[in-house]
Amino acid sequence: MDSRSYKLKQFIMHRISRILSMLWVLMLIACNGKNKLQETEGVKTIRLHFDEKTELKASDFVKSRRLVLLEDADETIIVTISNIDVMDSLIILTDKNTGSVVTYDFYGQLVGKINSHGRGPGEYLNITRSWVNHDKKEVAIYDNVLMKIFVFTLYGEFVRAYNSPSNIMGLALHGDFGYYYRSIDGFPDDTGNPMNYHLIMTALDSFKITLHRDFWFEDWLTIGFEPFIRHNNNVLLLTPGEQNIYELTGLEKRLKYHIELEPNPMWVNGNYNFLKTYEEYELYREQNIGKLEKIVFMGGDRYLLFSISKGIDKFRSKLCWYIYDTKEDVIVEAAYNLSNDLGPFDMSRVKFFNDSLWITEFHQYEYSESMLDTIAHREGIDFSKSINPCLVINKMKLNE
């Protein structure tokens, strides 16, 4: 082949390559457009109205209540309960202060403990996030220092550990699938710039990254809550700012709910899109104190519990609470003033919520000695047996 023929062939191959590349881009655009249309089909809007006149008494939705004092056997001291999960008549609680995950039965008896600190096999340095995998009856711990996920049984036996992405704000394990939610730094592309994909979905032999955003999406310093919950054998993800709830099944996600706050919401009409840095985010929040902003949710298979905040100043907020019935698509309870007419226990300190239980906690030092004596007499609790917190387990009557 002479040089002229060779150059002509190279030119033709180059043109074909460019045409194929353009077709590939057009296909991606078409697919992305199709996905956006699919995401908007069948999406329900949940409207949460902040009304400081609304009041809800515990007796309105609580059927019965009992106290469970957590024993301090085996030098198990609970400083702060970060979150609680319930499975198979067991209570699994995380204490980030002591770096422990502790399992109790419903009588407060210690069943298992995870407290392996260090850098050796099966050891971690801190607990950034935790999650209970109900399918496999395992507890997952994310350590943002070692950037690893550690998996244990409910009784504290080490199962495995694996590397994780950095800056995880939340994780959820469901069967053999894993979901990891990250902040705006995203994954670097070939030029070292962030691609801003915030959700990683993994299977045994594959993975998928999705939820591309070009605005400040909050990070583990500002979000302050677990964005994943279990719901009807799937996982729900709540994204801040845009206030969307996605349903995750396998390696697929579906936009299921959009939340609208009223009146005077902080995030509306995509105004979060101009926030590109943490500094811009903080400045915008300071300039809009008093508007409705952060949404926190818990839930079961039928009911979701929401709280939204209205800033008083940079550090303090007012809260309003809502119980949403996913079956009937209606808010069944809403309250700014959430009072407990069944006892001296703060109902707003909820650590666990599902279709039947509302669990709060208190420490003995929060009450005077005379009040503790009164509680002990009424509830049949011997506070001298443990210095650990006491759980208030409220059984609800939402379906009645």
State which CATH number among 3.40.50.970, 3.40.50.410, 3.90.1150.10, 2.120.10.30 fits the domain covering 43-396.
Answer: 2.120.10.30
Task: Decide: 61 and 357 in contact? Cβ < 8 Å.
Answer: no
pLDDT of residue 193 exceeding 70:
no
SS3 call for 347: coil
What per-residue confidence (pLDDT) applies to 169?
85
Higher-pLDDT residue of 25 and 350 is 350
Distances (CA, A) of 255 to 94, 181, 296, 389: 30, 16, 18, 39
Closest listed residue to residue 325, CA positions, set 292, 352, 303: 303
pLDDT of residue 141 exceeding 70:
yes
* Rounded Cα distance, 21 and 244, in Å: 34
What per-residue confidence (pLDDT) applies to 18?
40
What per-residue confidence (pLDDT) applies to 22?
37
pLDDT tens for each residue of 235-278: 999 988 889 999 999 999 999 999 999 999 999 888 888 888 78
What's the start-to-end Cα distance of the chain, in Å? 86
Identify the band that residue 198 occupies on the pLDDT scale cut at 50, 70 and 90: confident
Identify the band that residue 31 occupies on the pLDDT scale cut at 50, 70 and 90: very low
Task: Decide: 214 and 194 in contact? Cβ < 8 Å.
Answer: no
pLDDT of residue 41 exceeding 50:
yes
pLDDT tens for each residue of 73-125: 888 999 999 999 999 999 999 999 999 999 999 999 999 999 999 999 999 99
Least confident span in 16-30, 240-254, 308-322, 362-376: 16-30
pLDDT of residue 217 exceeding 90:
no
For 65, counting Cβ atoms within 10 Å of its Cβ (0-12 exposed, 13-18 middle, 19+ buried), the class is middle
* Interval 324-334 mean pLDDT: 95
